Structure formats: C-alpha cells, structure tokens
Amino acid sequence: MSNLADFRKDFDILNSGDYVYFDNAATAQRPNQVLDAVTQFYKTANANPLRGLYDWSMAATDAYENARKKVACFIGGVRPEEIIFTRNTTESLNLVAYSYGMDNVGEGDEIVITVMEHHSNLLPWQMVAKRNKAKLIFLEPDEEGVISKEEYQAKITDRTKIVALGHVSNVMGVTNPVKEIAEYAHKKGAVVVVDGAQSAPHMKVDVKDLGADFFAFSGHKMMAPMGIGVLYGRKELLENMQPFLTGGEMIEYVTREDATYAELPHKFEAGTVNAGDAVGLAAAIDYLEKVGFDAIREQEEKLTKRLLEGLSKLPYIKVYGSKDPSKHCGIVTFTMDGVHPHDMSSVLNDDHVCIRAGHHCAQPLMQFIGAGSTSRASVYFYNTEEEVDIFLEKLSKVREVMGYGA
C-alpha cells in the first residue's frame, strides 16, 4: 500500500495550519503536482489552442488533446473523441439533457431518475419533461439508501426513454447498482446517463463495463482545478446530437444563414477551451493513479469506520445511510438533536473543523428522509485517524456551546 503520509506532504493547504478538512465531497484539495502542471502550462505553452499555426499554440493544442487521451484511458479506455470537456458535472448533464433529451423524449415518454439525485441531475430533466410533456418517474431507496431490483424493475418500462442516476449519492454515500440498472434499462430501449461526480474520485470507473451511455464528472472533486469537467458519451449518440453551445471553433463551415459543425469532440466545445485546467486534470489523474484506488478505498473505509463508531457513542446523533463503512464512499451524513446543521457547522468552524451543512443540493432527498437539512463529513485518502478524533471531540462539545449543558 502507498504511504499516504508521504502523499499528504504534497498538499500545502492541509499542512499550513490546524484545519481539519472534511468537506471533500464538495471539492477536494489539490497537490502541488497539479498546481505546478497548470503553472507550467501557462509559463511555457500558453496560446489559444486549436487555432494558431505557431509553436506555442500547437504546444497548447497538444497539451489539451493529450489531457483528453488521458481522461479517455482513465474511464476505461474509450475513444478520445467520446470525451467532451465541459466546466463541470452540471454542464455535462445539461449538455445531455438539452442536446439529447430535448430531441429524443416526447409527449407521454418517461424519464426515470432517483429521489437521491443532486439538483444537477434533476433540474435539467425537469426542463425536458416540462417542455416535451414527458413524465419524471422517481426510484426510491430503502433506509440504507439502496434501490432494490423490484423498485427499478417496476418503474423502468417500455415508456422509459432515459434513465439518469447518480453513481454515488452525495448525501447517503451509497453506490447505486448502475451496471444492473443499465442492463435492465437497455433491454427496455432506454439510454443511461450516469452522474459520476462522487464516484470518479474514489473508485476505478469503466464506463463501458458500467453500461453508461453518458457519464459526467467534475475535475475539482478529484484534485484538478475548478472549472474543468468531463462528459463521456457514446460516439453513435454524440454524432447524432445537435451542439449545446454554438460559436467559435465548433464549426466546419459557416455562411450568412447556416453552418455545418466540426467533428467530435469539437462540435461540443464552443469558444476558447480551458486547456490550462485540462492539463491540471491530467496531472490529477496521474496523481490519483500513483496513490492507487485500492489505497484510497482502504483509507476511506478505515476513516469512515472510526467516524461511524465515534458517532454511535453520541446518543443525540442520527446517522443516515448504511451501518457498513464500506458503503459510504467516505461520506457520513448526520443530524444532532436540537441543533441546526448550520449552527453546528459554525461552531465547528470556530474550532477549525470544516464540514458541510444544509440540503446538499438534494432537496427531494431531504424531503424523502424527513430532514430539512443535515450535516455531512466527507473524507478523502489524505485525511487521518487523528483528524477523525479531533472532529469527534469537537463535535461532542457542540451541544454544550449551544446551551444544552455538559
């Protein structure tokens, strides 16, 4: 197993004070290798990519297209032209909804999603359903966040045109049985869209093995800069879709009245592309592969186990999701009797502990579990058992600070 303490040294922000950063599901921290790769790009190869016929522009183009090849390998060896760079998961999912959904879902058709979806994988489908008079159907999980076979087999039918679901829930931490669901959805003739925002940073993803027709994720949750995201789409589908954004560099030929479009992937990448951050994403992938997903999983499970054990000793805490630490993907969501999550987060912040509090952009799930908002601690491989202990110790003081007595 890799020595995780050595990797932690690469994160200046984590080593610069006494902060415990447990909001990794919102965004990860970046190691120096990623920051250096971005700086190096701007210092040595900065010019507008895909346009200039001079050395710097061609170097920028190479760096950008090499990043695309790296991403294509990272998610299971797909074709580079099946990788579209976007700003984030949100933009990737909107691209699918607008460029595929609007043209392929009609009146009376059904779009199946889960009640656990992040708003980014809900609102775009609400738009499609409203505009095209289609129906949204919601898969509901059990107490531990698990969607049963009976549930998805009852709701995915011949009317289903799209099944859109998160690979890992950003609230429950549960990993959905995407492969099984995709197999069933394909038999019914539906297209499968997977929101991989919370899975790509934590587990080896093979989009073809999963059966994803589209797979979206964000660089910033896996140590790349903010502002670079990915959409994988099956070539046959992408080729038949209209562009999402139009303008520079996504064209083949333009007249006053009309235009033909560039080949994949550029048809979907209008305007000056984010080459600097694509280079950062490639460096983040190199880094992730150096750490190794086995080591990442092992550490996340170890920390989650300690977290769950510690929380179970506090009688006023309710934890959501599975009791099994291996089923959390590093995410632990909980509430504290009598203390609003925002107050808890503020009190913890006074002790330099960073967690997320609120609805986590998953309000239908909050309604489903009967909580207006929750607190969420989310760990990554660079977090330590000592940090879990500090978090638990500070958390156990919160009710006292809020006036409940010792």
Residues from 333 through 392 that contact ligand C6P (CB under 6 A)? 356, 360-361
Which of 182, 197, 228, 369 is close enough to bind ligand C6P by CB under 6 A?
197
- Least distance from C-beta 47 to ligand C6P, angstroms? 28
Instruction: Find where tokens 């669901």 sit.
Output: 181
Which H helix or E strand runs over 372? none
The b-or-e profile of 24-46 (16+ CB within 10 A means b, else e) is: bbbebbbbeebbebbeebeeebe
Candidates 118-126, 299-307, 320-328, 389-397 — which segment interacts with ligand C6P by CB under 6 A? 118-126
Angle, vertex CA 313, rays to CA 307 and CA 316, nearest 5: 105
Decide: is 101 part of the binding site for ligand C6P (CB under 6 A). Answer: no
Cβ closest to ligand C6P, residue 25 vs residue 174: 25
Is the Cβ of residue 68 or residue 360 nearer to ligand C6P in the bound state?
360
User: For residue 126, how far is the Cα from the chain centroid?
Assistant: 20
> Pattern 305-344, binding to ligand C6P, x per CB under 6 A?
----------------------------------------
Strand partners, 332: 377
Catalytic residues: 361
Residues 240-249: contacts with CB under 8 Å, at least 24 apart:
241/99, 241/100, 241/103, 242/99, 242/103, 243/99, 243/267, 243/268, 243/270, 244/94, 244/95, 244/98, 244/99, 244/268, 245/270, 245/271, 246/270, 247/271, 248/272, 249/50, 249/51, 249/273
| Least separation in angstroms between CB 179 and ligand C6P | 18
161 or 356, CB closer to ligand C6P?
Answer: 356
Specify the residue, 360 or 399, whose C-beta has the smaller distance to ligand C6P.
360
Stretch that binds ligand C6P, among 37-45, 72-80, 86-94, 96-104 (CB under 6 A): 86-94
How many residues touch ligand C6P under the rule CB under 6 A: the total is 17
88 forms part of the interface with ligand C6P (CB under 6 A): yes
| Minimum gap (Å) between residue 320 Cβ and ligand C6P | 14
Q: What are phi and psi of 216, to 5 degrees?
A: -115, 140
Residues 6+ positions from 2 with CB-CB distance below 8 Å: 290, 291, 292, 295
How is residue 88 annotated by DSSP?
S
Q: Does 30 bind ligand C6P (CB under 6 A)?
A: no
Residue 231 contacts residue 214 (beta carbons within 8 Å): yes
Considering only the C-alpha atoms of the chain, give the largest distance between any 2 of them, rounded to a whole number of Å. 75
- For the chain, count helices (H), then strands (E): 16, 15
Question: Which member of 4, 7, 26, 363 binds ligand C6P (CB under 6 A)?
Answer: 26
For residues 120 and 375, which CB has a smaller minimum distance to ligand C6P in the complex?
120
Binding ligand C6P (rule: CB under 6 A), the pick from 14, 20, 25, 379 is 25
166 interacts with ligand C6P by CB under 6 A: yes
* Closer residue to ligand C6P in complex, CB, 4/245: 245
- Asked if 99 interacts with ligand C6P (CB under 6 A), we say no
170 counts as binding ligand C6P under rule CB under 6 A: yes
Parallel/antiparallel/unpaired status of strands 110-114 and 135-139:
parallel
Q: For binding to ligand C6P (CB under 6 A), which residues are involved?
A: 25-26, 88-90, 118, 120-121, 166, 170, 195, 197-198, 218, 356, 360-361
